[in-house]
Structure 1
């Protein structure tokens, strides 16, 4: 079974690792789609801190990940088709946007599944960035900024 999941994977953390290790339990091969900066900027106010190539390199180093591919458009049907995904794993913030509906319909037509997972409340890239900014504002690293 081929499992496909997608994300930004900026500032790789234990929540990402837990997600990917869970995905690997669902099948034999785990393929991870990584959003390009342009894709991320289409739905978030800021682009990732870590460049795409480095985010992909970090994911490739994980033993639970079998393949990593970038995606440059906010659509999932073509990648699910290309990797022949049996299961597409999505996050809890999955909505009814056209690109989401399109992949749901495609997978249903092929008798494939979508598995929705909850985010790990321990951490997130956003929380990590907020903590760094908070530390900067406390003056801990102000000398390095000047």
Structure 2
């Protein structure tokens, strides 16, 4: 069975590793979709710090990941079909946006599964970036 998940994966951290390891327990292979900068701009205020090629390279180096693909549109269904995903893993903040509903409808109709996992705010690239900025501001103030 193929397990598919998506994300930005900027500043790879233990939350990402936990997600990917969990995906590996659900099937035979793990496919990961990595959001391009254009896609990230659609739902986050800032683009990633790490270029997409490097984010993909880091993910591919992980033993729990078998396939890494970029996606350039906010359309998860196309890649789900491309990798022949049996299970789609997504965070609990998934929501009911049209592109999300398309995936859920497809998986439900095809007898496949969408698995939502609990989001942990302590493991966030955004939080890491905020902490770095705060440290830089403290350092600047001390000069």
- Normalising by the smaller structure, the TM-score range is over 0.9
Quote the residue 1:133 is aligned against.
133
Q: TM-score with structure 2 length normalisation?
A: 0.96
Q: How many residues were matched structurally? A: 143
After TM superposition, give the deviation of residue 139 of structure 1 in Å.
Answer: 1.7
After TM superposition, give the deviation of residue 122 of structure 1 in Å.
Answer: 3.3
What is the rounded CA distance, in whole Å, between the counterparts of 1:91 and 1:141 in structure 2? 38
Greater Cα offset, 116-125 or 85-94: 116-125
Q: Structure 1: any 5+ residue segments left out of the alignment? A: none
Residue 32 of structure 1 aligns to a residue whose secondary structure is: strand
Q: Structure 2: any 5+ residue segments left out of the alignment? A: none
What is the rounded CA distance, in whole Å, between the counterparts of 1:142 and 1:56 in structure 2? 38
Preserved contact between residue 135 and residue 141 of structure 1 (Cα < 8 Å): no
What is the rounded CA distance, in whole Å, between the counterparts of 1:26 and 1:90 in structure 2? 13
Decide whether aligned partners of structure 1 residues 141 and 12 sit closer, same or farther in structure 2, where only a CA change above 3 A counts.
farther
Tell me the C-alpha RMSD between the 2 structures: 1.5
What is the rounded CA distance, in whole Å, between the counterparts of 1:17 and 1:142 in structure 2? 35
